[in-house]
Amino acid sequence: MDSEGSTERAIKNELYSAYLYLSMAAYCEGKNLPGFAHWLKVQAKEELGHAMKIFEFMVDVGEQIILKAIDQPPANFSFPADIFEKTLEHEKKITTMINNLVNLARQANDNPSIVMLQWFVNEQVEEEKNAAYILETLKTIKETGPALIMLDRELGKREG
């Protein structure tokens, strides 16, 4: 499946996703929104799992892994809809990356990679749906007040 380090870039992008969501969580902690921070920390943990899923698959198929440097994520955000606008935008980029990997695997007639990547295709549908739901909810409420506190509490209940 690997074309010029594309699977290593996929690992890097998943690790960057975790790093980005941890940065967003830190920002939310500083704004006294522990529920938002919790949701983002669970998301970061999920992204680490995604990176390891790709890593383990590469090991299983005998690919050499050369890890890439991870960029520093932003640390400041407009509050709070900006975080989920950026989350949705980022997840769409990851979806494009996964789709590109699927296309490479198809071109190479690499059935094991196609099967593994199908899990990620399905996962990205969920990732985009969740980010879009929270973003749309934030757009319907004011950025302060009872509705924001209620959403913060709802997000704090995410299991992970």
Q: How many CB atoms neighbour CB 6 within 10 A?
A: 14
Query: What is the CATH number that goes with domain 6-156?
Result: 1.20.1260.10
Q: Give the closest residue to 97 by CA, choosing from 7, 159, 34.
A: 7
Q: Give residue 64's Cα distance to chain centre.
A: 24
pLDDT of amino acid 143: 65
Q: What is the token pair recorded at 13?
A: 């992008």
- Whole-prediction pTM value? 0.89
Q: Residues 117-147: pLDDT tens digits?
A: 999 999 999 999 999 999 999 888 866 678 8
Residue 114 has, within 13 A of its CA and on its CB side, a CA count of: 9
- The answer, yes or no, to whether residue 55 has pLDDT greater than 60, is yes
